[in-house]
Structure 1
Amino acid sequence: MSNRVNAALSNKSSVTTWVWSLIGITIIYLIAHFSVMGAVSPRISNPEAVGIPRPVEFLFGFKYWVEFHEFFTVVAMVALFVGCVSVWRRTPGHPYVLMAIASTAIVWQDPIMNWAPYAVYNPQLWHWPEDWPLINMSPTVEPFIVVGYALFYFGPFFPAVALLKRLQARSTMDAFVWRKPLVSLALLILVIGFVMDMMLEVSLIRTGLYIYSQVIPFGSLFPNTPFQFPLIWESALVTLVMIPAGVLCYRDDTGRTVAEKLTQRLRFLQSRPTLATFLVMFGILNIAYFMYGAAFAAIRVSGAATAVACPYPFPEAKVYDPQGYYESEGQPGPFFEGYWNKITIGQPDGRPKVNPIKPDAVCSPKEKPNA
């Protein structure tokens, strides 16, 4: 009898593996078929950029950072996929694999989450066609490299839970780390995630992967330069997704994760516990990601993000200037405002038509002193 059960489970695992492999192959085919490089759409393409050198030199003057990042993403995702398949074959329905899938699946929101914090990607990245629905929400392009979400959002859980276990091993049973393990884990992820995000994003910006075209001057690194980064805002808010991703995978004394406990409330899926666990993870992460975007949308509506990334480092694309701040800082055009730029952010008429250049405009070309 046990041999039959084991055989049935093995067959089910093999079918699941083949299904996910087919999904992976389909995604690779779609990417290969529809991929675009450069500012192709007239909506964002700058026809005046032919022959214009890039006004910004990226880290170490290295010209192939884009290719490096894309290659690293491919290698990392292949390794992640192989690892997930291997774990799934040994333990079907493993919560870590489910979380890796869930934290990757929220990538559907990425164009909106690029719009909210003014995240402008380098058009030289391979990307989806710029005018596709939803994709066109991204200020310039929606690159394929964002498929690596799982490494970013789920990654901090592993050092955090390892550190929590070490703290528990050195503490008495009445210590805070024992009495409030979920709160302790959340706090550790907050700190680790904040530092990790800062290091990662500053390096990605310095290597020309993307910019934050507008940031709040307070709490930001290098404001009014191409490498400006909203440190307090981005690195703190991004943990809104990291924390639930980690907490949901925390195992209690019974060996069950928080997500599996919550799954018990979905009575209509009691016969499909793996699916129910995934839906709990996916639903909670989507809500958390919406909260991240809502916070940045509030900043956008407030008009407080007044520091612009100057000079605009992607001349092949029009300058993304939804509120006219770039123009008033002396940045040469042409400009475009993108989508969701009217009532959505309190501008019923869209981008202001007249934006006088400030006397102390930070983007205006500086005159060289006479010799």
Structure 2
Amino acid sequence: MMSELPLILKIGVGFAYLGGIAFFAIGIWLSWQRGRLHPLLLVSISALSFSWIEAPYDWAVYAQFPPELPRMPSWWPLNMTWGGLPSAVPPGYIAYFILPTVIAAYLGRRLSGSLSWRLPGTLLLVGFVLGTLWAFVFNAGFGARLGVFYYGYVIEGLAFWPGTKHQYPWYDSIAMGVQVMAFTYLLGRTDFQGRTIVEVWADSKTQSRLRASLLSIAVFIAIGHAVYLSVFAPHLATKLMGLVTVGPSEQLFPGVPNQPL
């Protein structure tokens, strides 16, 4: 089926699967080298865990994908994406969120050291700025401009290129920036042993390495969900309040009805 996809969709699907698998595999290898779970693996697990929220998120922001893309089965939780959630989304969440997180954590630590800035604030600032820029480039550029996905409706006055099928709600970039900011803080703030603040807490609760690892995974998943649900909530609220109303009259994808208001 991949051979039948247009080149731009092949690139998107390839980025999702290859990027997701690569980060997960590197996280496993680093964990094996370290003798305990590596922060990269923990944030990757967290990103994968809340990928189910993408479907209701798509519904709230009227995101639509090309009909050629393979979809998740009907049993996928809250499969509310118009036409079904693309099957590349779960691994794609790892690639999408972890790539800017790794870069932001590296830059944040370098800036903190060279400019003598406090590390926590620097990580949060760099994570938010880089995450927001990344989301704009990927979602507005690669997505809405090149046709990997479109936003059927946006809030009036809060979008680029409103009224066209290439319109992009800039508030989506802010939401993604907040998520990358949280991940950057978790990945970049470590102690002299390379432990995140979550791992330090988990180690204080139990002497068992296995239990500490399970606690760390659970907390990373909980934090990932809490942050992503918090940035999803405004989208859901504006959708339910009927504020997302600006969009093109043409079909976003030929032969496929647009998601109705």
Aligned pair 1:76/2:19, yes or no? yes
- Give the AA of the match of 2:145: R
Pick the aligned partner of 1:167 from 100, 111, 118.
111
CA distance in 1, matches of 2:137, 2:246: 21
Which residue is 1:357 aligned to? none
Q: Which has the larger radius of gyration?
A: 1
Deviations 1:123-171 (A, max 9, x none): 2111123x43635312222002212112222322322222223323333
- Give the AA of the match of 1:171: L
CA-CA distance at 1:261 after TM superposition: 2.9
CA distance in 2, matches of 1:276, 1:200: 33
Pick the aligned partner of 1:108 from 52, 55, 60.
52
- Note closer, same or farther for the CA distance 1:219–1:262 as it changes in structure 2 (3 Å cut): farther
Which residue is 2:92 aligned to? 148
Tell me the TM-score normalised to structure 1 length.
Answer: 0.63
**Higher helix proportion:** 2
Which residue is 1:237 aligned to? 175
CA distance in 1, matches of 2:192, 2:25: 29
Which residue is 1:216 aligned to? 155
RMSD across aligned C-alpha pairs, in angstroms? 2.7
- Note closer, same or farther for the CA distance 1:104–1:136 as it changes in structure 2 (3 Å cut): closer
* Contact 2:104–2:127, Cα closer than 8 Å, also in 1: yes
- Note closer, same or farther for the CA distance 1:93–1:259 as it changes in structure 2 (3 Å cut): same
CA distance in 2, matches of 1:142, 1:97: 25
CA-CA distance at 1:265 after TM superposition: 6.9
Aligned pair 1:314/2:247, yes or no? no
Pick the aligned partner of 1:134 from 66, 74, 77.
77
Aligned pair 1:293/2:232, yes or no? yes
Count the aligned residue pairs.
256
- Give the AA of the match of 1:204: G
CA distance in 1, matches of 2:57, 2:15: 23
- Give the AA of the match of 1:288: V
Identity, in percent, stands at 23
* Contact 1:262–1:280, Cα closer than 8 Å, also in 2: no
CA-CA distance at 1:116 after TM superposition: 1.8
Which residue is 2:165 aligned to? 226
CA distance in 2, matches of 1:264, 1:218: 48
Aligned pair 1:280/2:223, yes or no? no
Structure ranking higher on relative contact order (CA contacts 8 Å, 6+ apart) = 2
- Note closer, same or farther for the CA distance 1:271–1:166 as it changes in structure 2 (3 Å cut): closer
* Contact 1:193–1:239, Cα closer than 8 Å, also in 2: yes
- Note closer, same or farther for the CA distance 1:103–1:269 as it changes in structure 2 (3 Å cut): farther
